Amino acid sequence: MIEIQNLHKRFGDVEVLRDINLRVDDGEILAVVGPSGAGKSTLARCVALLEHPTSGSVVVNDTNLASLSGNALRTARHSIGTIFQSAPLLRRRTVAQNVALPLEFYQATKASTDQRVAALLDEVGLTDRAQYYPAQLSGGQRQRVGIARALALNPTVLLSDEATSGLDPATTRAILRLLSRLRTDFNLSIILITHEMEVVREIADRVARIDHGRIVESGTVSEVVLRPDSDLAKDLLPQHPLLGNPRVRNVWEITYASEQVPSTWLTGMLRDAPTSDVEIFSASIEAIHGVTVGRVIVGSSALEESWLRAHVEPQGLHVRAVDLVREAPAGAAPVADAVAATAESEE
């Protein structure tokens, strides 16, 4: 278990982190997301005690690491393993020798080191690469070596700082499956620092969004995606294209706001609508952590919003009017221009 309480970090007169409070229970994965410059990397360094917090605490298994220094801090750091964006492996050491580095630093016996390294390489699926050098490995394999090394001292907390950034989708999925299995095998508390929403959707139990050094939203992933007005939920759900006839007068986004939405709501809405002038621009409905979530974009020049709300909101859905001009995808022609071009072509 790791609990971050009232954590602040200043660099000179600049306060980079402000009153951060987060908790990750045993066997739980927390994803921390946010825009560039929000404070994610500084938070990661403070959690790993590579940067000392200006104030606040980082409590791991009832010990406040932020209050320690010297040998006591070095010993306590055993409880936190860190995976970096690019595994910093020593190119002249083999895979096995790279994994053994932390154990050698703390003067473990050769027998215990060899046994621990063999077990970890088996865990990450690299037993047959033990005598390879980093240059002989793929990016995903090098990241697996980094994961094995992070686990060498048997930590209870694993900190992943953009560990899948730059990897191809297939390798990313393989690394995420590995992390998910390791948290179960070792009962780890895992903090994922990431900007990749697929990573959050894939394995995180909880998610927190940091912006300008503050946690602005947090909760379980299933809770967040059901919040109708959540910016984080909009990021977690697949981005929707605003397609269809640009002369449609009204466009609405319908999102799930409950776990009890009937699966037939969309066909029922189209069947019961007082007009056939209803166009589906885009739809994405799926299950995240066993909870059905989704976003459907519909448009109509005849349907009234009052009817739409009265029909779907009692079923656990949320309706939001979409501003096509403001929310058009980057690079797309403004809707007003598209309407004018369509009118000109008809004259």
Q: Are 222 and 47 in contact (CB under 8 A)?
A: no
Please name each of the domains of the chain with its CATH number.
2-219 (3.40.50.300), 237-346 (3.30.70.260)
The pLDDT score that the predictor gives to residue 285 is: 86
Tokens of 225: 């995606």
Other beta carbons within 10 angstroms of residue 200's beta carbon come to 25
Q: What ranges make up the beta strands (E) of the chain?
A: 2-11, 14-24, 29-33, 55-60, 63-64, 80-83, 157-161, 189-193, 206-211, 214-220, 250-256, 279-288, 291-300, 317-321
CA distance 295 to 234: 9
pLDDT at 289: 80
List per-residue pLDDT tens for the chain, 347 residues long.
Answer: 999 999 999 999 999 999 999 999 999 999 999 998 899 989 999 998 889 999 999 999 889 998 988 888 888 888 999 998 877 899 999 999 999 999 999 889 999 999 999 999 999 999 999 999 999 999 999 999 999 999 999 999 999 988 888 888 889 899 999 999 999 999 999 999 998 888 898 899 999 999 999 999 999 998 998 888 888 988 888 766 665 555 677 899 999 999 899 989 999 999 999 999 998 888 888 888 888 888 899 999 899 999 999 999 999 999 999 876 555 544 444 443 433 443 344 34
- Cα separation, 49 vs 268, whole angstroms: 55
**pTM > 0.95:** no
What lies within 8 Å, CB to CB, of 346 at 6+ separation is: none
Confidence (pLDDT) at 339: 36
Which one, of 34, 11, 33, 8, lies nearest residue 19 by Cα? 8
CA 80 centroid distance within chain: 20
* Contacts of 204 by beta carbon, 8 Å cutoff, 6+ apart: 29, 30, 31, 192, 221
| Dihedrals phi, psi of 187, to nearest 5 degrees | 55, 45
